[in-house]
Amino acid sequence: MKNILNEISTYCQQSQRVLDEFETNKIVTQFKDNKTLNISERIKNAEKYYDQVEEMYKRKKEMEQTLQPLQQQMDVFIKALKKEMGLLSNETNKTTTLIRETLVALYDEEFKLLRAPFDLEIKKLEDAKNRKMQSLNTLSDKLKERVATDLSVNELIGLENITSMQINEIVFDSNVDDWGQDTSVFLDKISNKENLCFLVEDDKDNKFGGVIIDKIPQRMGIIVGQSSYIYSLTRNGVVTANKYEKKSDAEYSYYLGAKKEDCLIGFGNGHDIHVHKKNSSGSHFIPNTYPITYTDFSDTKDFNQTRVRVFQLI
């Protein structure tokens, strides 16, 4: 390419001299037949202009011959330049492709490096989720093994949290067993048993009751000194699971009503939670032995008992 350009430069200089000489000695021919002259003068005048045209044509041919090498070298240069540009274009395309592929690989590697900590966190979250799911499955399996109580899972869990024990069997259920005045089998069912959980339901979707740890005696009336506590399981259908221990100076544990009485059972001095028998009104909350108010169990001080159950705890 450099040699060709040097040759072109030399030819350009030669061509410039030829052009300068041509311009300097250029003959301007403006032929006009002067018809006022005689025929001989007119012929002589025409032949003179013809000779001038001949001379111009000759110079033109000489100039073309002088410029021809320049044109040929220009053609060679342009051809070489196109070839070089083509090679450059191919090389550029290859380089561009290589750079693009390299960048794609680098972006992918960068993404993996940036994603790695998140993958680790996601793995931890998935493991935690799986552990919780396994725990739920384990809990579900345990619940399936437990005694059917008609309680929801949350209620059952709440009751077990309150008592720190599980239900082993149903000792009494007012939906099945007689709890009417004069005919109740309530005392017969619970006598001589210990670790009993009493669950009362009213018509306002409240569930509450008490737990008696010591053995139930075979007698009615006020029972003194035994271990017991009361609880609220649900209030207006919402699980509360609150436990209330006896006051430190409290003496009375619970009250067992005789068959002829309208009272079925009472916790505390027969008043804190006072439960009447079937179809008997008068059930109420009167705080006495336990640090409670009736609002811990219900919206009103009085309630209508609808179901009473007793569970054996283990």
Per-residue pLDDT, 170? 96
Same domain, 168 and 68: no
Q: Are 96 and 171 members of one domain?
A: no
Q: What is the 3-state secondary structure (H, E, C) of 43-59?
A: HHHHHHHHHHHHHHHHH
Higher pLDDT, 122 or 63: 122
137 within domain boundaries: no
For residue 53, name the pLDDT band (cuts at 50, 70, 90).
confident
46 shares its domain with 169: no
Kindly state whether residues 299 and 204 are assigned to the same domain.
yes
Most confident of 115-119, 129-133, 214-218, 298-302: 298-302
Over the chain, what is the mean pLDDT? Answer: 86
Ranges 8-12, 34-38, 274-278: which has the least confidence: 8-12
Pick 18 or 188 by higher pLDDT.
188
Give the max Cα distance, the chain. 176
Residue 183 confidence (pLDDT): 96
Query: How far is residue 167's CA from residue 77's CA, in Å, rounded to a whole number?
Result: 104
The predicted structure's pLDDT at residue 16: 73
Report the relative pairing of strands 228-235 and 196-202 from DSSP bridges: unpaired
On whether residue 177 sits in a domain, the answer given is: yes
Domain membership of residue 111 (yes or no) is: no
Per-residue pLDDT at 168: 92
Number of separate domains in the chain: 2
Spatial contact of 193 and 215, defined as CB atoms under 8 Å apart = yes
Task: Based on the fold, state whether residues 211 and 309 are members of the same structural domain.
Answer: yes
Q: What is the pLDDT of residue 27?
A: 61
**pLDDT band for position 66 (cuts 50, 70, 90):** confident
Q: Which of 37, 71, 101 is the last residue of a domain?
A: 101
pLDDT, residue 296, reads 98
Instruction: Check residues 151 and 11 and name the one with the higher pLDDT.
Output: 151
Q: Residue 135: inside a domain, yes or no?
A: no
Which pLDDT belongs to residue 203? 97
Selection from 193, 195, 200, 199 nearest residue 212 by Cα = 195
User: In the prediction, which pLDDT does 139 show?
Assistant: 62
* Within a domain: 144: no
Residue 97 sits in the same domain as residue 157: no
Percent of the chain beyond pLDDT 70? 89
Which residues are registered as beta bridge partners of 273? 267
Task: Give the pLDDT of residue 290.
Answer: 95
Residues 13 and 89 in one domain: yes
Question: Do residue 97 and residue 172 come from a single domain?
Answer: no
Residues 170 and 306 in one domain: yes
Q: Rounded to whole angstroms, how far apart are CA atoms 46 and 52? A: 10
Amino acid 82: pLDDT: 76
Which of 70-74, 87-91, 131-135, 214-218 has the lowest average pLDDT?
87-91
Flag whether pLDDT at 101 surpasses 70: yes
163, 64: one domain:
no
Angle at 202 between CA 198 and CA 205, to 5 degrees: 105
Domain boundary pick from 101, 118, 135? 101
Q: What is the pTM of this model?
A: 0.56
Q: How confident is the model at residue 84 (pLDDT cuts 50, 70, 90)?
A: confident
Measured in residues, the chain has a length of 314
Please tell me the predicted confidence (pLDDT) of residue 255.
Answer: 93
Give 235's pLDDT tier (boundaries 50, 70, 90): very high
Q: Would you say residue 219 lies in a domain?
A: yes
Looking at the fold, whether 79 and 207 belong to one and the same domain comes out as no
Same domain, 215 and 68: no
DSSP three-state, residue 1: coil
In this structure, is residue 70 part of a structural domain?
yes
Position 161 scores a pLDDT of 96
Q: Taking a C-beta distance cutoff of 8 angstroms, is the pair 39, 118 a contact?
A: no
Domain enclosing residue 192, as ranges: 153-313
Least confident of 3-7, 101-105, 277-281: 3-7
Residue with tokens 């159950």: 309
